[in-house]
Structure 1
Amino acid sequence: MKLEAEHLHFGYDAARTILEDVSFALGGTGVYCILGRNGTGKSTLLKCLVGELHAAGRILFDGKERAAYSDREIAQRVAYIPQSHTPTFPFRVLDVVMMGRTAHMAYFASPGAREEEIARHHMNFLGIAHLAEQPYTNISGGERQLVMLAAALTQQPAFLILDEPTAHLDFGNAQRFLDLVLRLNAEGLGILMTSHFPDHALYLGAETLVMKDKNLWRHGAAADVIDEESMTALYGLPVHIGSIGTRSVCVGGEIGER
Structure 2
Amino acid sequence: MAAQETARRRPSQRSHHHPQPRSRGRPVCAVNAKATGRGSYSWNRPTQGGCRVSGTLIVVDGPTAVGKTTACALLAAGLRRLELEVVMAGEPSASPIGDVLRHEPMGRHDGQILACLSAGDRYRQLNHVVTPALERGAVVVYDSYLPSAFALHELAGAAPDFLRTLNRDALVPDLTVALLADSSICQARAAVRGDQPHPAAAFIAQHAVYDAVLYELYESGWTLRSQPADGTPEEVAAALLQAVMQLL
TM over 0.5: no
Is the radius of gyration larger for structure 1 or structure 2? Answer: 1
Give the shorter-chain TM-score range: 0.3 to 0.5
Structure 1 or 2: larger helix share? 2
Could you state the TM-score of these two structures normalised by the residue count of structure 1? 0.35
Q: Normalising to structure 2: TM-score of the pair? A: 0.36
